[in-house]
Amino acid sequence: MDMTGKTVMITGASRGIGAEAARVFAKAGANVALLARSQDDIATLAGEIGQQAIAIPCNVARFSELSSAVETTVSAFGGLDVLINNAGVVEPISHIADADPDAWGQLIDINVKGVFYGVRAALPALRANGGGSVLTISSGAAHNAIEAWSAYCASKAAVNMFNRALHLEEHANGIRAIGLSPGTVATEMQRKIKASGINPVSQLDWETHIPADWPAKCLLWMCSPEADDWCGDEISLRDEDIRSKVGLT
């Protein structure tokens, strides 16, 4: 997939799937705008990638910051073609009866409102380009309840439905809305899950998690017409047929 001349904005780009997506898209020729709260990390990554990348400190839980990030991206690269909603947190990992209300709400602010804010801020730029792709990281937790993950499960279920609503409203404007459920990935989030010791996911051997560049490569493939059949829906990277299409082994 040649992305030369295209511009991609990635939230949560400081590490994990977001950082690998930045590398994969830049290698494919794209300009990449790296958004995260960790200013030093995204600055280092932008320096690694070179002139194709800009680092924009941003808290996705604040619409004004995402709106400014879109303006900065368009000013730097002339437009916006792809939004990757990757920023997300899994904590608090807590049973409902013991959950801290503020921490529970903060997860919703990041995982749900952050996706809406990103899309709301990016839509004018995507429409101005005649369309584009909105790719959102989902999870199997959107469809299955997991012990002590009430906030995370609820957030991913909400994002799944939001993706469907986005497709319904914007596909006629050329907006391709697709979710990606990557399965378990060897990232810092998995280390936090492992440390919790709660539920079967925390008991998985580290070797069972896929590397972060797998979902990154799938996100690149999702920008191609081959993924059009999944617009308004979700792709699962657990699907061997999808892995084959992406070229993963």
Range of the domain at 192: 7-242
Residue 248 lies in a domain: no
Q: Would you give the end-to-end CA distance of the chain in angstroms? A: 18
Classify 132 as helix, strand or coil: strand
Residue 96 lies in a domain: yes
Question: What is the tens place of the pLDDT at every residue in 1-59?
Answer: 899 999 999 999 999 999 999 999 999 999 999 999 999 999 999 999 999 999 999 99
pLDDT score recorded for residue 222: 97
For 16: left if phi > 0, alpha if psi spans -120 to 50, otherwise beta; the answer is: left
CA distance 57 to 122: 16
Residue 133 clears pLDDT 80, i.e. is over it: yes
Contact 177, 167 (CB under 8 A): yes
Tally Cβ neighbours within 10 Å of residue 51: 7
Model pTM score = 0.93
pLDDT score recorded for residue 97: 97
Residue 63 clears pLDDT 80, i.e. is over it: yes
Residue 249 lies in a domain: no
224 contact partners, CB below 8 Å, separation of at least 6: 1
Question: What is the tens place of the pLDDT at every residue in 136-190?
Answer: 999 988 999 989 989 999 999 999 999 999 999 999 999 999 999 997 776 777 7
pLDDT score recorded for residue 209: 75
Residue 2 lies in a domain: no
- Average pLDDT estimate for 63-71: 98
- Average pLDDT estimate for 224-232: 96
Percent of the chain clearing pLDDT 70 (strictly above): 98
pLDDT score recorded for residue 233: 96
Classify 16 as helix, strand or coil: helix
- Specify the range with the lowest mean pLDDT, choosing from 14-18, 124-128, 160-164, 208-212: 208-212
Active-site hit among 25, 77, 116, 152: 152
pLDDT band at 200 (very low <50, low <70, confident <90, very high): confident
User: What is the 3-state secondary structure of 200-242?
Assistant: HHHHCCHHHCECCHHHHHHHHHHCCHHHHHHCCCEEECCCHHH
Residue 229 clears pLDDT 80, i.e. is over it: yes
106 contact partners, CB below 8 Å, separation of at least 6: 61, 89
- Across all residues in the chain, what is the average pLDDT? 93
Residue 88 lies in a domain: yes
pLDDT score recorded for residue 186: 64
Q: CATH number for the domain including 123? A: 3.40.50.720
Residue 1 lies in a domain: no
How is the beta sheet containing 82-85 ordered, strand by strand?
Answer: 53-57, 31-36, 7-11, 82-85, 132-137, 175-181, 234-236
User: Which of 83, 51, 52 has its CA nearest to residue 67?
Assistant: 83
Angle formed by the axes of helices 150-170 and 114-128, nearest 10° = 20
**Alpha-carbon 41 to chain mean position:** 17
Residue 206 clears pLDDT 70, i.e. is over it: no
Percent of the chain clearing pLDDT 90 (strictly above): 82
Residue 247 lies in a domain: no
Q: Check if 152 is active-site.
A: yes
pLDDT score recorded for residue 193: 80
Residue 202 clears pLDDT 90, i.e. is over it: no
Residue 208 clears pLDDT 90, i.e. is over it: no
- Count of domains observed in the chain: 1
Residue 113 lies in a domain: yes
pLDDT score recorded for residue 183: 75
183 contact partners, CB below 8 Å, separation of at least 6: 140, 210, 236, 237, 238
